C-alpha cells in the first residue's frame, strides 16, 4: 500500500546526455515485491522551492534527491536503483541506513566489559556495516510522516548478527525550505553494545545520470588527521596527520589533483578512509564541502559525529543504475559520518565511546545542506 504522499509523486526526469529518460521511481520501486513478499512503501518529501527527496521503508533508504537549479533544471544528485529487483541484488549499500555498526569491525570480534563477542563477518573475514543481514536489509516501520519529514523505526533483537542487547532505533529525515536534508538518529539498548549508524548515499553533483565520474568534484574536509588502513580497510592502529599527504583536504581541492598519489590510495583503489574532526568544534559549522564540476551545486555536511568516511565509489562497477544499465567505478562519492572504523577495538582513540549502554541514548545528526 502506498502513502498519499507517494501516490502523488511526480515523474522523475533525468538527462543522460542523449535526451530525457523518465522514471516514476515510486511506481517502479513498489511494483515488485521486496524480500518479505510485500511491496516497498515510499515517501516523497518536497519543499516550496520544488526540491524532491524520495525515501523507502526497506533499509530506511534515501532513494532520490532532486534539486531545482536556477536554470530550471531539476537535477538528480543521488545514485540509485529504479526497481526492487535491482535494489535487492546490489551490494553497494546505496542510500541505505547501515548498522548496527557502520564500516568495519576487524575479524568480527570485540570485547565489552571483559566479555568477548563474535559477530557476522561478510567481507574478507571482517564485519562490514552490521554484518550479512544488517539494518539495511530489514523493513522499517514508518511511525510519523508529513510533507517535509518522515520517521522510520525498527528493533534489532538481542543477538541479531551476534550483537548483544535489544537495540531500538529511529531515523528521522527532514527537508527544509533552504534545501537541507537532516538525518537524525536515536537508539537505546538493553545491554551494552556497539552502535554506529550512518547513511550510505552516493552523491554526484554533476547529475547522477550524466555518466560522469566524481574525480572533478572539489572536496574540502575540516580534518587534520585521517586513519590509514590495510588493503582490507582495517585500521593500522594509529591516526596520521594529513599534512603533506594526498589526504589533506583542509583548503579544498579537486579529487583528481592527488589521485592515486600514495600507497594508501593505491591499496584502496581511491579514497576509502575516515577523517577525524577536532574534538573541540562548533557542530553547526560544516565539516565537509563538495562542489560540482560545473559550480552549479554546492553541498555542505554538518554533523555532531566525530568522523567521516570519504569513499569515492571505487567498486561501483556492475551496480544497477536507476536509468538502466550499470554504474561505473567512481560514479559517485559517499560522505559517511560515523565513529572511526573498528572503534570497539580501539578505546584509546580521541572520540566519544562507541559502546551504547542501557539508560543511555545514542543521539546524532547529519545535515546535507545543498546550495543551487
Examine the domain organization and report whether 159 and 270 are in the same domain: no
Please give the pLDDT value at position 249.
98
What is the mean predicted confidence (pLDDT) over 105-117? Answer: 98
Examine the domain organization and report whether 110 and 145 are in the same domain: no
Task: Tell me the pLDDT tens digit for each residue of 232-285.
Answer: 999 999 999 999 999 999 999 999 999 999 999 999 999 999 999 999 999 999
Examine the domain organization and report whether 225 and 292 are in the same domain: yes
> What proportion of the chain, given as a percentage, has pLDDT over 70?
94
Q: Is the pLDDT of residue 17 over 50?
A: no
Examine the domain organization and report whether 242 and 321 are in the same domain: yes
* End-to-end alpha carbon distance in the chain: 34
Q: How far apart are CA 43 and CA 29, in angstroms?
A: 11
Please give the pLDDT value at position 15.
33
Examine the domain organization and report whether 49 and 168 are in the same domain: yes
- Tell me, yes or no, whether 181 lies in a domain: yes
Residues 6+ apart with CB under 8 A from 157: 166
Please give the pLDDT value at position 24.
84
Task: Tell me the pLDDT tens digit for each residue of 300-316.
Answer: 999 999 999 999 999 99
Examine the domain organization and report whether 167 and 277 are in the same domain: no
Residues 6+ apart with CB under 8 A from 299: 77, 203, 205, 289, 290, 291, 368, 369, 370, 371
Q: Is the pLDDT of residue 132 over 50?
A: yes
Going by pLDDT thresholds of 50, 70 and 90, the confidence category of residue 64 is very high
Domain coverage including residue 8:
4-100+132-189
Phi, psi of 137 (to 5 degrees): -110, 25
Please give the pLDDT value at position 284.
94
What is the mean predicted confidence (pLDDT) over 156-184? Answer: 98
- Tell me, yes or no, whether 87 lies in a domain: yes
Examine the domain organization and report whether 324 and 265 are in the same domain: yes
Examine the domain organization and report whether 17 and 138 are in the same domain: yes
- Tell me, yes or no, whether 247 lies in a domain: yes
Going by pLDDT thresholds of 50, 70 and 90, the confidence category of residue 68 is very high
Examine the domain organization and report whether 182 and 224 are in the same domain: no
Give the CATH number of the domain where residue 69 resides.
2.70.98.10
- Tell me, yes or no, whether 205 lies in a domain: no
> What proportion of the chain, given as a percentage, has pLDDT over 90?
92
Examine the domain organization and report whether 184 and 95 are in the same domain: yes
Q: Is the pLDDT of residue 22 over 60?
A: no
- Tell me, yes or no, whether 238 lies in a domain: yes
- Tell me, yes or no, whether 39 lies in a domain: yes
| Number of domains making up the chain | 2
Task: Tell me the pLDDT tens digit for each residue of 80-89.
Answer: 999 999 999 9
Q: How far apart are CA 82 and CA 86, in angstroms?
A: 7
What does 19-47 look like in DSSP terms, one character per residue? Answer: SEEEE-HHHHHHSSB-TTSSB--EEEEE-
Q: Which residues are catalytic?
A: 200, 336
Q: Which three cell numbers stand for residue 343?
A: 572503534
Examine the domain organization and report whether 152 and 94 are in the same domain: yes
Examine the domain organization and report whether 152 and 229 are in the same domain: no
Task: Tell me the pLDDT tens digit for each residue of 89-100.
Answer: 999 999 999 999
Please give the pLDDT value at position 351.
97
- Tell me, yes or no, whether 195 lies in a domain: no
What is the mean predicted confidence (pLDDT) over 129-149? Answer: 97
Q: Is the pLDDT of residue 125 over 50?
A: yes
C-alpha neighbours within 13 Å on the C-beta side of residue 66: 23
Spatial contact of 320 and 212, defined as CB atoms under 8 Å apart: no
- Tell me, yes or no, whether 126 lies in a domain: no
Amino acid at each position: 500500500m502506498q502513502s498519499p504522499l507517494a501516490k502523488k509523486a511526480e515523474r522523475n526526469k533525468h538527462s543522460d546526455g542523449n535526451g530525457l529518460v523518465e522514471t516514476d521511481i515510486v511506481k517502479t520501486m513498489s511494483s515488485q515485491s521486496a524480500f518479505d513478499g510485500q511491496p516497498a512503501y515510499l515517501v516523497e518529501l518536497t519543499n516550496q522551492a520544488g526540491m524532491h527527496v524520495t525515501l523507502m521503508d526497506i533499509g530506511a533508504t534515501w532513494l532520490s534527491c532532486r534539486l531545482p537549479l536556477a536554470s530550471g533544471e531539476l537535477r538528480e544528485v543521488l545514485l540509485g536503483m529504479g526497481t526492487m529487483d535491482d535494489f535487492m541484488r546490489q551490494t553497494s549499500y546505496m542510500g541505505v541506513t547501515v548498522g548496527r555498526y557502520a564500516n568495519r569491525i576487524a575479524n568480527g570480534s570485540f570485547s565489552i566489559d571483559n566479555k568477548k563477542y563474535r559477530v557476522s563477518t561478510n567481507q574478507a573475514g571482517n564485519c562490514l556495516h552490521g554484518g550479512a543481514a544488517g539494518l539495511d536489509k530489514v523493513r522499517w516501520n514508518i511511525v510519523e510522516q508529513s510533507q517535509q519529514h518522515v520517521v522510520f523505526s525498527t528493533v534489532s533483537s538481542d543477538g541479531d548478527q551476534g550483537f548483544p542487547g535489544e537495540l531500538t532505533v529511529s531515523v528521522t529525515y527532514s527537508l527544509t525550505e533552504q534545501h537541507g536534508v537532516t538525518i537524525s538518529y536515536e537508539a537505546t539498548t538493553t545491554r551494552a553494545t556497539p552502535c554506529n549508524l550512518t547513511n550510505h548515499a552516493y552523491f554526484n553533483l554533476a547529475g547522477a545520470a550524466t555518466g560522469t565520474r566524481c574525480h572533478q568534484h572539489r572536496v574540502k574536509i575540516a580534518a587534520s588527521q585521517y586513519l590509514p588502513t590495510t588493503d582490507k580497510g582495517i585500521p593500522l592502529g594509529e591516526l596520521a596527520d594529513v599534512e603533506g599527504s594526498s589526504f589533506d583536504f583542509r583548503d579544498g581541492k579537486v579529487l583528481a589533483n592527488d589521485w592515486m598519489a600514495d600507497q594508501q590510495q593505491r591499496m584502496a583503489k581511491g579514497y576509502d578512509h575516515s577523517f577525524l574532526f577536532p574534538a573541540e568544534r562548533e557542530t553547526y559549522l560544516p565539516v565537509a564541502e563538495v562542489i560540482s564540476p560545473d559550480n552549479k551545486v554546492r553541498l555542505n555536511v554538518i554533523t555532531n559525529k566525530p568522523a567521516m568516511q570519504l569513499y569515492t565509489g571505487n567498486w561501483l562497477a556492475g551496480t544497477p543504475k536507476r536509468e538502466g544499465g550499470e554504474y561505473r567505478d567512481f560514479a559517485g562519492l559517499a560522505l559517511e559520518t560515523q565513529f572511526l572504523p573498528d572503534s570497539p577495538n580501539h578505546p584509546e582513540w580521541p572520540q566519544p565511546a562507541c559502546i551504547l549502554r542501557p539508560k543511555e541514548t545514542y543521539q546524532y545528526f547529519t545535515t546535507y545542506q545543498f546550495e543551487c
